[in-house]
Amino acid sequence: MINKLKLSSVLHKSLKHFTTAKSATPLTQYITTPPSISPLAALKSYHFSNMSAVKDDRISRISSTIRVIPDFPKPGIMFQDITTMLLDPVAFKDTIDLFVERYKGKNISVVAGVEARGFIFGPPIALAIGAKFVPMRKPNKLPGAVISEEYSLEYGTDTMEMHVGAVQAGERALVIDDLIATGGTLAAAIKLLERVEANIVECACVIELADLKGRDRLGDKPLFVLISST
């Protein structure tokens, strides 16, 4: 069992370390607590509730299995290839587990997967959190009546479609894809869901190409990623 006095001393020293460095921002600035809770108690809560995220070796394992292929599909592009991660059952399971741990118990009823690699991650996440999976597809791929949203690409435009009636007004939705680059496809998925008056809880991707600033196109919708790459 952890000695409480020893733990308290360690936490006090940690708090002092973060608040005395001239250029450092106090750690307590990032912890929002009611007035009745002391900074030390807040730091204890922060430490234990975030320990798995801070020291989680699953992220590095996932990252190590993703292959980068230069000049694909055209010169100058560094393609993030997740197929090598899918060949590693442990890394693949870790990826799904990290998303499930984040969204389980959040009353999400819709997991909307963006074609095509969103179809890989979306269904197992949906099953694990008790939600339905809704495919967001390219034109002329869905057999029933659809609603469509056109979005811009680097060169030209494309369209995303969703079946009419797949999502009901007021449902809480998670949008999932493997990667966010310029953010066009995720932005189109958000617009489709908003047109049927769904509530977007969050967008989630395995990888973010941060330099392309795709999250800026998502407006006020939050984005969660496992790996940030340049």
Active site residue ranges = 117, 154
Q: In whole angstroms, what is the distance from residue 209 CA to residue 216 CA?
A: 12
Q: From the CB of residue 67, how many other CB atoms can be counted at a distance below 10 Å?
A: 13
Whether the link from the prior residue into 73 is cis, omega within 30° of 0, is yes
Task: Write out the H or E segment, with its range, that includes residue 226.
Answer: strand 223-229
Report the C-alpha gap between 86 and 67 in whole angstroms. Answer: 11
Give the Cα separation of 184 and 215 in Å (integer): 9
Q: What is the CA radius of gyration of the chain?
A: 21
Please check whether residue 111 is in contact with residue 125, taking contact to mean a CB–CB distance below 8 angstroms: yes
DSSP secondary structure letters along 171-224:
-EEEEEEEEESSSHHHHHHHHHHHHTT-EEEEEEEEEEEGGG-GGGGGTT--EE
